[in-house]
Amino acid sequence: MSISPDVFRTGKKYRLRNFDEVCEFSVESFIGKDDYKLKDLNTLEVMLFSDLTRYGRGKDYLLEEI
């Protein structure tokens, strides 16, 4: 069961599966307008949640806390 991004908490770790791609990240901060600054746990790249969901939600969309 997928969670909503509304329950994101700073410092927590999450996994997003969408369109057969998996991204594990921690939430750095809330930047407003339903968007978050994230840090990829594998590459340490900083990105926005809106960038991960830019192309919509695939049939396999799954967002979970790890």
CATH number at residue 44: 2.30.30
Domain count, the chain: 1
CA–CA distance, 5 with 7 (Å, rounded to integer) = 5
Q: What is the pLDDT along the chain (66 residues), one digit of tens a residue?
A: 788 888 999 999 999 999 999 999 999 999 988 899 999 999 999 999 999 888 888 899 999 999
**Closest listed residue to residue 40, CA positions, set 50, 30, 59, 26:** 26
- Asked whether residue 27 is domain-assigned, the answer is yes
Q: And the tokens for 61? A: 């969309």
**pTM summary value:** 0.88
Q: Domain of residue 47: give its range.
A: 8-65
CA–CA distance, 59 with 48 (Å, rounded to integer) = 22
Contact 49, 63 (CB under 8 A): no
